[in-house]
Amino acid sequence: EVITINLDTPLYKGSISLNTGLFINGEFVRPQESQDAGKIDIINPSTSKPITSVHLGSSLDVDIAVDAARKAFKSTWGLHVPGSVRGQKLQRLAELIEENLEEIAALEALNCDESYDFDEHLANSSFILPFFTCFVLNPDRSLILGKPFAQAKQEITIGCIATLKYYAGWADKIHGKTIETSETKMAYTRREPYGVVGAIIPWNGPLAMFAWKVGPAVAAGNAIVLKPSELTPLTALRVASLINEAGFPPGVINIVNGYGPTVGSSLSSHPLITKIAFTGSTVTGRKIQEAAAKSNLKVVTLELGGKSPNIIFDDADLEQAIKWAGVGIFTNMGQACCAGSRIFVQEGIYDAFIQGFTAVAQHLQANTGDPFSSPNTLHGPQASEVQYKRILSYISSGIFDGAHVQTGGEKHSEEKGYFIKPTIFTNVTPSMKIAQEEIFGPVAAVIKFKTEEEVIEMANNTTYGLACAVFTENISRGIRVAHAIDAGTAWINTYNTLATNVPFGGYKQSGIGRELGEYALENYTQVKAVHINI
């Protein structure tokens, strides 16, 4: 079923055609009638009004998609196809997304209200993960006003297109090793794909998450069945319409929309899926691991939540620390897995930091609105009503527990959508709920500390371990603390900087395995050792 979305906004004018079915075996199909789960409205969070609705799949559709993926893997994909050819098709898909960038970015902005700017970082090989970035400072030190539509284009350019191209380049460079075992015997290893990969992704960076899964999985020779978030399936469906043109045989990339407990759970318990890759909450990650264990012991990689500590020492460059603390927690309205939501500030710099950081939050509060219709918007709505209510309840809990609302602490009353004011809590103690649980909103919990030893202990006092940051002009201390924190990523004097070729993933309950870089390919291949008697 093809629908047309007409957009006539100051930032984008045009019609977007979209098939709202499931993409299975190279074609858009309707869900199987016997288990038809109906349709879901896809909401624009700035207005809380539906943009369109898409069809929902069921376990039956998952079975059909897995069957198509298996057939492709066994005949037209996998190691039947040279890596260079797999790479060419991924490269072509990336180029087609590039050719349709305006339209795809408009769709992403509409569905997600991306709000960020990272022009400053485009010149570098590393980048601020776009959907984690809402503002950066100009060289003249004034805040750049957000250009959400332009920024959505940049997110797709770097988070999605560059990732697909990066893995396109890897497709013919996935090698084994030769190993001498004795004078008359030797062995070699092969890196073989798993077969059919199931992928389940969240709503906070839909196309980047699509590319983080599809890129390495398909480059390594797997076929994939991907479930987008039920909140944000539009861009994955738009990209699905380019898959055949890119030259992929039917069944290599399949997209099944649907809810977690139906389509998601069918993927994680499917006996013919041999590897599942998930990004989302720790609660869901646990369910997926359980389902994987109970079904066929499929290999699981999980990218989960966080409560990342951002540690600011007395000797930090204050201006930089304030800027990056803002990037760390307020980017994408706080809806970032590696958000710097616990900010530890040493006592000597505390007052000055709070003053500057409060000004950042208030600047965002003053520039809150629909990011799609105004180039002046810095802070948009939360992505869904559920998320919005959840964040407000965390704010109430912080107030109830005795934390002080330095600024914000409430919804934005002038806006119709799901807007919450960037919030800073001070007088927070480490045991409070707002200092322990992932809020996934624009809420910073600031905690004062005295010594390095004390802050390392407090920072590690969490079940999460996704990321951390250290601000200090003493590089030895920066490195020492970065090594001492239990986290998969540590930043020194920056925040949210990621690079396509650097691994990303969590310690503790923030995840298993790594995405990005060469490391991701290890998660999509299994090693076979072949022994030879010479």
Judged by the rule CB under 6 A, the positions of this chain that interact with ligand NAD are: 200-204, 227, 229-230, 259-261, 264-265, 268, 279-281, 284, 287-288, 303-306, 337, 438, 440, 466, 506, 511
Q: Provide the minimum distance between the beta carbon of 284 and ligand NAD in the complex, in angstroms, as a whole number.
A: 3
What's the angle, vertex CA 104, arms to CA 98 and CA 108, rounded to 5?
A: 130
Residue type present at position 51: I
Residue 403: both structure tokens together: 């934390």
- Minimal distance in Å, beta carbon 345 to ligand NAD? 23
User: Per the residue annotation, which of 114, 155, 303, 438 is the catalytic one?
Assistant: 303
Q: How far apart are CA 338 and CA 353, in angstroms?
A: 21
How many residues make up the chain in this entry?
A: 534
Q: If you count DSSP H runs as helices and E runs as strands, how many of each does the chain have, helices first? A: 17, 26
Closer to ligand NAD by CB, 11 or 152: give it: 152
Closest to ligand NAD by CB, 337 or 520: 337
Nearest-approach distance from CB 431 to ligand NAD, in angstroms = 21
User: Which residues are bridge partners to 19 per DSSP?
Assistant: 2
Cβ neighbors of 249 (< 8 A, separation 6 or more) are 26, 72, 76, 77
Of 354 and 439, CB closest to ligand NAD: 439
- DSSP symbols for 408-456: --SB-TT-SSS-B--EEEES--TTSHHHHS---SSEEEEEEE--HHHHH
**β-strands 489-492, 467-471: how paired?**
parallel
- Angle at which helix 475-484 crosses helix 452-460, to 10 degrees, equals 30
Closer CB to ligand NAD, residue 189 or residue 289? 289
Residue whose C-alpha is closest to residue 253's, from 96, 42, 104: 96
Q: Which C-beta is closer to ligand NAD: that of 202 or that of 478?
A: 202
> Are the C-beta atoms of residues 136 and 327 closer than 8 Å to each other?
yes
Report in angstroms how near the CB of residue 377 gets to ligand NAD at its nearest: 22
Single out the residue of 87, 144, 124, 118 nearest to residue 208, CA to CA. Answer: 118
Neighbour tally for 41: CB within 10 Å:
10
Q: Is residue 134 within 8 Å of residue 331, measured between CB atoms?
A: yes
Nearer to ligand NAD, 64 or 304 (CB): 304
The reply to whether 155 belongs to the active site is: no
Q: How far is the CB of 278 from ligand NAD (least distance, A)?
A: 7
Closest approach of Cβ 191 to ligand NAD, in Å?
A: 24
The closest of 147, 156, 152, 153 to 374, measured between CA atoms, is 147
Q: Cα separation of 97 and 109, whole Å?
A: 15
Q: Which is nearer to ligand NAD, 190 or 433 (CB)?
A: 433
- Are 276 and 268 in contact by the 8 Å Cβ rule? The answer is yes
- Residues near 391 by Cβ (< 8 Å), separated by ≥ 6? 334, 382, 420, 439, 440, 441, 442, 443
> How far apart are CB 202 and ligand NAD at their closest, in Å?
3
Q: Which residues are catalytic?
A: 303
